[in-house]
Structure 1
Amino acid sequence: MIISIEVPVFKGEFLNQCIQSVFQQSSDAWHLSLVWDGGDERSRRILEEMQESNHPKVSVYFNENQGIARSRAFLSAQNNYPYILPLDDDDELAPNAVEQFIEAAKANPWASLIRGRRSFINQQSEHVEETQWFPFGPRHYFKGMVSDVFNQAQPYLIRKSAYDRTLGWQGFDDFMQAGEDCDIFLQLEEVAHFELIDEVLYHYRLHNERASDTLTSAAAFEMWRRLTDRSIDRMELPLIRTSDVPPFTFEEKERTDLTLGDLEFIVPKGSTISDRLKQIEMVEDAIIEVPRRENEASWKMEGFQASQKKIVCFLDDSVQVDDASALVDLVNALNESGADVLAPTAEQVIGFSKQQWLDAGCFLVRREVLLATGGFDTETIPNAMHLIDLCIQANRRDFTCVVVHISGISSQGPLALGWSETDFQMLKRKWHSYPNYLPSIKDLNRFSGDGARR
């Protein structure tokens, strides 16, 4: 595993110290990429000397001034390594930063971003006691949206495959292309959750020429407001921001009742349930048939990516639907409960039963849930646990999962088809930082019956 350390360069005063902090890493599993962004002559001379050295672990580029966001985007576009570690040209990495980030990445391959702590140093690279400006800890949500958008700072390691699912580094032209760091946090969180390393791995230099010092608090608040509103639109969340200073507060928009016309069905191609939907005269354009995959999450994600409507209904071969009225009842239950994820159950539950996890072969999901959480994990979670994993993601972001008794619909969930202790351990490993969201063995047995364990 190699980490791509990426440095946009504008000023040369502390650039040598920055570069040396990379060369002094306890691990050599890194590649350093630097791009000159039309900066001062001192920085250009340093990079020209670095380029002339032909160091096999260093790449140097020269561009006209583009701004910080476009320079980061340029470097990430050149990178074919699995992880990105952004570094500013006046800061330093702690000597064990690469080693610790690699260890964390191997332990948490599902994380889109892994963040460590930072300390402050002066112009002589001496430690300075300074109150941290931004929180360090899990982020907080309201109905899918992050409220504490300022809960972010270097250092952070980005999984490249997660970055490739975003729009990339983006900044604001009226703020010198700044805001790109907060924005990439928001975008990456829509792919997968973050993990934290409670150790100082980065040294942030305090001096009078920092680009960030030219931005006022008012400018920071304005960028946070814009980024928040942009994220709400991108995830199609029915929210309105109601405060001007983070942590932001939000209000839910009034929802209009949905109908079968707002629904698309995601089914395996050639399945019995696909034929059944056509028999009960569901509109064929609303049925998205996806080639079967051994990985359940893969065909479901492929189906969602082909969908366009406000709600999607996932159905597998275990599902039996008596008639169209049962599906109407299912959509009505979503409206009445206000749920974000809803599954029918054969159990005689009273009204709508809020659940932390669902296990069903048939379930409805509002589009914004899948956009906000990244959807199903297609890489690390076994089939038996993929719906529980989605529910954990949804619950973390303050969405609601509900079961309701619907006459005329029956199915078997992934757990009922069989699960193992190994499956459960994989789920526990992924969510080790959030143990309160995990089911217990007793919970799994309640869903599936003891006989489903294998």
Structure 2
Amino acid sequence: MKFSILIANYNNGRFFKDCYMSIIAQEYSNWEAVILDDVSTDNSLEIIREIIGSDPRFRIFENAENSGVGITKSKLIEIADGEICGFVDPDDAVASDALSSAVAIFKQKKDIVLTYSKFAKCDEYLKPIEISKMTDQVVNSSPFFFNCPVNIVHFVSFRKEVYEKTEKMNTEMKIAEDQDLYLKMYERGKVQFINKVHYLYRLHSGGISQNSNKPKSKEYFAQVIFNAFRRRNLKIINGKTIPKVYTNPEEIYDLLEYQNRFLFKVNKKLIIFVQKIFN
């Protein structure tokens, strides 16, 4: 079972060495790394090519014009040769057992379409600061799961064959394109949490979802959730009517506010416990 590590790069060549070292250190050997540069304005490609050298496991491509993360990641999935795909940002890194742990689950459980793990927030030098507490196993097969509050984050891997049966990645997304992907995959099968730190997430000023981009991220995520409402043909959530047209993010988040309540969280944990026993 081949694993395609997908890397969308834009001006992050200066961080790539750490990413590269974590990839070649993988315990699982049947992998490829596919890199697509979105017309970087720095010397990223030069740096990346020098680091990779002649290693045939790495394939590098370039967009003809700057296209944004949605289009770039969509193209990466199309280019991938592997049965399993997983995105790694060029400024981040993965644990040595990240691929082997995911592949083991996909081989054992045919109904699993996506896996995800814990991640560590790191400083600019990729030194871990804290392990995120947001990741955990989610309820499977629920029409009312929207990953809000967020549980599915890094490191995510998924079956390409199943992805091809979805509406695929929304190429218009500039942020939250990953959340759009997760929800579409969730609708096609079961997802499984791996209780290990498999991803090192670097915090730095150039991060696309960090700092000044956070308000934009919230806006895009609300649109992702609204699109999920439409795909699932939902009309009402928790007694509230879903708007027919998207207007603003707060209207969407207000509909899901009940999922933050204590009783809802308790009930969710009970459902997850039962699903673990019978699956």
- TM-score normalised over the length of structure 1: 0.51
What's 1:3 paired with?
3
What's 1:232 paired with?
229
What's 2:256 paired with?
248
1:50-449 alignment runs, 5 A limit: 53-63=53-63, 64-129=65-130, 131-132=132-133, 134-139=134-139, 144-149=143-148, 150-170=150-170, 172=172, 177-239=174-236, 240-241=241-242, 243-245=251-253, 248=256, 434-435=275-276
Q: Matched residues in 1 for 2:187 and 2:141: separation?
A: 12
Alpha-carbon contact 1:18-1:89 (below 8 Å) kept? yes
1:29 Cα deviation after fit: 1.7
Q: Matched residues in 1 for 2:275 and 2:98: separation?
A: 24
Change (3 A) 1:437 1:204: same
1:109 Cα deviation after fit: 2.2
Change (3 A) 1:26 1:246: farther
SS of 1:221 mapped into structure 2: helix
Alpha-carbon contact 1:147-1:249 (below 8 Å) kept? no
Alpha-carbon contact 2:122-2:203 (below 8 Å) kept? yes
SS of 1:81 mapped into structure 2: coil
Q: Matched residues in 2 for 1:79 and 1:67: separation?
A: 19
- TM-score normalised over the length of structure 2: 0.81
1:215 Cα deviation after fit: 4.8
Q: Matched residues in 2 for 1:435 and 1:129: separation?
A: 28
What's 1:418 paired with?
none
Q: What residue ranges of structure 2 are gaps of 5+ in the alignment? A: 244-250, 259-267
1:135 Cα deviation after fit: 3.7
Deviation string, structure 1 residues 304-330 (Cα, Å, up to 9, x no partner): xxxxxxxxxxxxxxxxxxxxxxxxxxx
1:97 Cα deviation after fit: 1.1
Q: Which amino acid aligns with 1:179?
A: A
Q: What residue ranges of structure 1 are gaps of 5+ in the alignment? A: 251-395, 397-430, 439-454
Deviation string, structure 1 residues 257-290 (Cα, Å, up to 9, x no partner): xxxxxxxxxxxxxxxxxxxxxxxxxxxxxxxxxx
Aligned sequence identity (%)? 19
1:208 Cα deviation after fit: 1.9
Deviation string, structure 1 residues 199-225 (Cα, Å, up to 9, x no partner): 111111112221111554433332232
What's 2:24 paired with?
23
1:105 Cα deviation after fit: 1.6
Aligned length: 253
SS of 1:136 mapped into structure 2: coil
Q: Matched residues in 1 for 2:218 and 2:195: separation?
A: 27
User: Highest CA radius of gyration, 1 or 2?
Assistant: 1
What's 2:247 paired with?
none
Change (3 A) 1:131 1:114: closer
Higher relative contact order (CA 8 A, sep 6+): 2
Q: Which amino acid aligns with 2:47?
A: I
Q: Matched residues in 1 for 2:19 and 2:224: separation?
A: 29
Change (3 A) 1:92 1:46: same
Q: Matched residues in 2 for 1:31 and 1:91: separation?
A: 17
Change (3 A) 1:80 1:182: same
Change (3 A) 1:136 1:230: same
What's 1:270 paired with?
none
What's 1:316 paired with?
none
Deviation string, structure 1 residues 383-435 (Cα, Å, up to 9, x no partner): xxxxxxxxxxxxx9xxxxxxxxxxxxxxxxxxxxxxxxxxxxxxxxxx99814
1:55 Cα deviation after fit: 1.8
SS of 1:168 mapped into structure 2: coil
Q: Which amino acid aligns with 1:212?
A: S
1:226 Cα deviation after fit: 1.4
Alpha-carbon contact 1:32-1:57 (below 8 Å) kept? yes
Alpha-carbon contact 1:241-1:249 (below 8 Å) kept? no
Q: Matched residues in 2 for 1:82 and 1:209: separation?
A: 31
1:436 Cα deviation after fit: 5.7
Q: Matched residues in 1 for 2:254 and 2:20: separation?
A: 35
1:124 Cα deviation after fit: 2.2
